[in-house]
């Protein structure tokens, strides 16, 4: 992998008002072939955060260059390793840059930067180690029926395995404090990282809360996201390995 900073003449941190810089907060954006959306995503995030790193996971469409022009730092994987691997690269990066918090944020435009900022404020004000975004907290968001069923299965498994009464398990919008960053060591390079993150929270007895969020589903994000069948496979795979480990 290699690191590229913001292009000279592009967006600069001094253009962001001091009240919204949050200098000790890094936003980690894993991205694979997201040239269509990543520039818009970074631009939106820069309204609230000055420190953004895009992990270009082996893209072949110029994703990294577009993210850099929009004002992000870019760390590039030479080949596609998977979202879990991209997130771990991001955690390693922000750990080395003395981040107090890391925000994980998808590159396909599903998440709201304003919600991310509110979650950082909640973490700061409450003192919890982790704030998890939830589609099902408070006024539940409409979710495609098959995906809702898969998520319910994942929630039931997670509650059983971690004793965490979470309401959403595969929401990519999270705020992770320094105690999480220091112990983050994701081993699943693919989409199973979402459950692994919850395992880390539980095993290290980190404090956590949830925040109501909405996912902006459209044709692009549905096409880019994992299928419900793949998500179901992840649930059954974790159930199988849990059974073998007993």
Domain chopping of the chain, boundaries:
2-244
DSSP states of 89-150 as a string? HHHHHHHHTT-SEEEE--TTS-S-HHHHHHHHHHHHHH--SEEEEETTSSSPPP--HHHHHH
Instruction: State pLDDT tens for residues 86-125.
Output: 999 999 999 999 999 999 999 999 999 999 999 999 999 9
Residue 6 has pLDDT above 80, yes or no: no
Residue 48 has pLDDT above 60, yes or no: yes
The pLDDT value given to residue 37: 96
Cα distance between residue 246 and residue 244, in whole Å: 6
Closest CA to 110 of 196, 31, 189, 50: 31
Higher pLDDT pick, 204 / 5: 204
Q: How many Cβ atoms are within 10 Å of 97's Cβ, its own excluded?
A: 13
Tokens 């435009």 locate to: 109
CB 176 within 8 A of CB 94: no
Instruction: State pLDDT tens for residues 187-234.
Output: 999 888 988 999 999 999 999 999 999 888 666 655 655 544 455 455
Q: What CATH fold (topology level) applies to the domain 2-244?
A: Spore Coat Polysaccharide Biosynthesis Protein SpsA; Chain A (3.90.550)
Residue 64 has pLDDT above 80, yes or no: yes
Closest CA to 205 of 162, 238, 167: 162
Residue 3 has pLDDT above 70, yes or no: no
Higher pLDDT pick, 21 / 64: 64
Token pair of 196, please? 């692994």
Token pair of 157, please? 């498994």
């Amino acid at each position: 992998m290699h690191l590229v900073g913001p292009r000279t003449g592009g967006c600069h941190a001094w253009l962001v008002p001091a009240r919204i810089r949050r200098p000790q907060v890094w936003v980690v954006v894993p991205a694979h072939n997201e040239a269509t959306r990543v520039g818009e995503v970074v631009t939106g995030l820069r309204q609230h955060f000055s420190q953004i790193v895009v992990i270009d996971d082996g893209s072949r469409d110029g994703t990294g260059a577009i993210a850099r022009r929009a004002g992000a730092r870019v760390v590039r994987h030479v080949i596609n390793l998977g979202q879990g691997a991209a997130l771990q690269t991001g955690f390693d990066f922000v750990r080395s840059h003395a981040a107090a918090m890391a925000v994980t944020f998808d590159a396909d435009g599903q998440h709201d930067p304003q919600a991310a900022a509110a979650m950082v404020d909640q973490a700061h004000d409450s003192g919890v180690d982790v704030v998890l975004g939830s589609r099902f907290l408070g006024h539940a968001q409409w979710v495609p029926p098959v995906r809702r069923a898969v998520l319910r299965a994942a929630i039931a498994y997670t509650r059983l395995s971690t004793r965490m009464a979470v309401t959403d398990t595969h929401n990519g919008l999270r705020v992770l404090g320094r105690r999480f960053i220091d112990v983050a060591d994701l081993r699943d390079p693919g989409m199973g990282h979402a459950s692994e993150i919850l395992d880390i929270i539980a095993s290290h007895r980190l404090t956590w809360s949830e925040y109501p969020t909405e996912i902006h589903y459209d044709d692009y994000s549905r096409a880019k996201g994992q299928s419900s069948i793949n998500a179901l496979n992840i649930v059954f795979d974790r159930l199988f390995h849990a059974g073998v480990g007993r």
